[in-house]
Structure 1
Amino acid sequence: MIQSLTNRKQPNELKKPLNLMGRTIDDLVNYGDTIMNILESSSRNTELDTPIYTTFLHFLDTLDGIATLTKKGSTSGVKSLLRALFEASINMQYLISETREKGVVAYQVAHAHKEIKNRRLLDPSDDLGKEFVPKLESFLNTKVPTQKIDKSAKYLYAFLEREDVKDVNREYQRTKKNNRGNHPNWHSLFNGPRSIRDLAVHFDMELVHKFVYSELSSHLHGSGTMKLFEKNDSQAVLPGIRNPNGLQAQIVWVINIATDTYMQIINNVSPNKQQSYAEWYVNKIRPNFAKITNSQLFEVKYETE
């Protein structure tokens, strides 16, 4: 690789293995249509089940972004999205494996409360808006549109009072009170997992949480940038952007998380589709995944002055 911080081109010898990994993830993304059809044909297709579909779209969008960055050889970008992919995966698994009250309704209730809080910020007569609006206008150096909270959040308040929702809303208020007034995570309602780590433990994925979520925190938050240095013989090299070193190991995690997510969705929603999923995996994913897992596809070499 040329020693240039902004070089975006990969050597010709790296394009084939990068495309192999990227196309494998493309195949996983494409299978998302099949999963969506399975969901729509199941009993999890009511209005209240909407978070299942939005979370799955987020999961697919993240996976597609990883496919694009993989072909470009951007290990750093893949690491950031891998962490998001894992979080979307365990959220999705909780949504489909729990009752509607503990899953999708809890999700929507928590979302409604967060939206109400955000809209209070733009109501100058609200305690939150009285402080926020002047600060925002000063920062933007312009007037911002405002609206009374009872109007801007009218439908959110109505949703929380629905007969099929209000019991979960009461549970939200109880959990919030026990959380010292802080807005709780949706999955913590009804004494559920309080954090992402607790969710991982719930699904026996604590090791994945450690190596995919916790270990990548320093990368995502910029507190582990010293690890960006690479070694070339006896010299330390700062490789620049789109450095593909270590990408293959990250893609192994990506494929494992994606395939496990699909399997869990099918197991919970439509077990009769297990055989067709297994056949698709064997024919479409396993051959390339074996190459990615069992052999070193490429080696990155750095040029030094």
Structure 2
Amino acid sequence: MTFYVDNIEDFENKTNLNVLSKVIRFAEYLLEEIIKDRTFIQQDKAILVFFRQLVEQADGVYLAMDQDSISLARTSIRNAFESSLALMYILEEAQSIGRRALSYIVHDIHEEIQWIEHAIETNVLAEHISTEELETAKQAKLNKLSTRQLQPIEDEWIRTDAALPQSYSPKWYSLFNGPRSIKQLARHLNPTSAKVKVIKDLQFSIINTK
């Protein structure tokens, strides 16, 4: 399921909206069938996360366009497009699927740790959870990063992070010398396509509709 829109006005045609709705319904059914009565390894879970995000974001595009909300639709289209690129990148090479999927998991854990640290520093959750409980949760995340499966990815995350300005964190797809931005990711996946231009146009449109 690749999400690519050449022109947002395409969705102003209700026939196209109906097609999108059918695709979303089928994708939801497919997802339910995939996860039914199955046990998944970690990298499978990362792939399913992006697929679920893509379905939900495509549904957001449908709802926005059905209500004639162009500005909201542009944001949803960009998000769906990025999820589509993420899936394409993970699945691009069979030998790299595991490493790329685990790169996303490590990135996600680091974001959770940053959120916990923010909660500890600001005491924003004091009424609901103690500092000790937050520290325990943080340590659990750190322990997960030190497991045999994730430690090599964590080492690469640390190496990549050290080369960036202090206020930036690595993009998960930038690990192991991957693309450093969403534009580079689109160019990497198909350097001759219009995907890079679409991203630039969506960025401009979103900024100018806020």
TM-score by length of 2: 0.79
2:153 is equivalent to residue 168 of structure 1? yes
Deviation, structure 1 residue 59: 0.4
Q: 1:118 aligns with which of 95, 115, 118?
A: 115
Please say if 1:208 is aligned against 2:178: no
The structure that has the greater radius of gyration is 1
What does 1:92-131 align with in structure 2 at a 5 Å threshold?
92-98=87-93, 99-123=96-120, 129=121
Distance in 2 between residues matched to 1:110 and 1:67, nearest whole Å: 29
Moved more, 104-113 or 180-189: 180-189
Is the contact made by 2:24 and 2:59 (CA closer than 8 Å) also made in structure 1? yes
SS of 1:187 mapped into structure 2: helix
> In the alignment, what sits opposite 2:86?
91
Are the counterparts in 2 of residues 185 and 195 from structure 1 also a CA contact under 8 Å? yes
Q: Is the 8 A contact 1:102 1:187 kept in 2?
A: no
Distance in 2 between the 1:178 and 1:101 partners? 24
Report the number of matched residues.
192
8 Å Cα contact 2:54/2:83 also seen in 1? yes
In 1, distance between residues paired with 2:177 and 2:156?
Answer: 10
Which residue of 2 is the match for residue 78 of structure 1? 73
CA distance in 2, matches of 1:102, 1:34: 28
Question: Hey, what does 1:147 align to over in structure 2?
Answer: 131
Residues 200 and 69 of structure 1: CA distance in aligned 2, closer, same or farther (over 3 Å) = same
Partner SS for 1:164: coil
**2:183 paired with 1:186:** no
1:52 aligns with 2:47: yes
Structure 1 residue 88: deviation in Å? Answer: 0.9
Residues 160 and 166 in structure 1, CA contact (< 8 A), matched pair in contact too: yes
Q: In structure 2, how many angstroms separate the alpha carbons of the residues matched to 1:143 and 1:47?
A: 33
- Normalising by structure 1, we get a TM-score of 0.56
Return the offset for 1:66.
1.6
CA displacement at 1:109 relative to structure 2: 0.5
In the alignment, which residue of structure 2 is the partner of 1:300?
none
Which is bigger in relative contact order (C-alpha 8 A, separation at least 6)? 1
Which SS does the other structure have where 2:175 is aligned?
helix
- What amino acid sits opposite 2:70 in the alignment? T
- Name 1:31's counterpart in structure 2: 26
Q: Is the 8 Å Cα contact of residues 47 and 90 (structure 2) preserved in structure 1?
A: yes
Answer whether contact 1:29 1:60 (CA < 8 A) is retained.
yes
Residue 121 of structure 1: SS of its match in structure 2? helix
Shift of 1:92: 1.2
Q: Give, in whole Å, the separation in 2 of the partners of 1:171 and 1:178.
A: 11
Partner of 1:198: 184
Q: What's the C-alpha RMSD, in Å, of the aligned pairs?
A: 2.8
- Whether the 8 Å CA contact 2:145–2:151 is kept in 1: the answer is yes
Q: What stretches of structure 1 move > 3 A for 4+ residues in a row? A: 33-41, 142-146
Matched, 1:64 2:54: no
Give 5+ residue unaligned stretches, structure 2. Answer: 1-11
Call closer, same or farther: CA 1:217–1:146 in 2, change over 3 Å: farther
Partners of 2:130 and 2:203 in 1: CA distance: 36
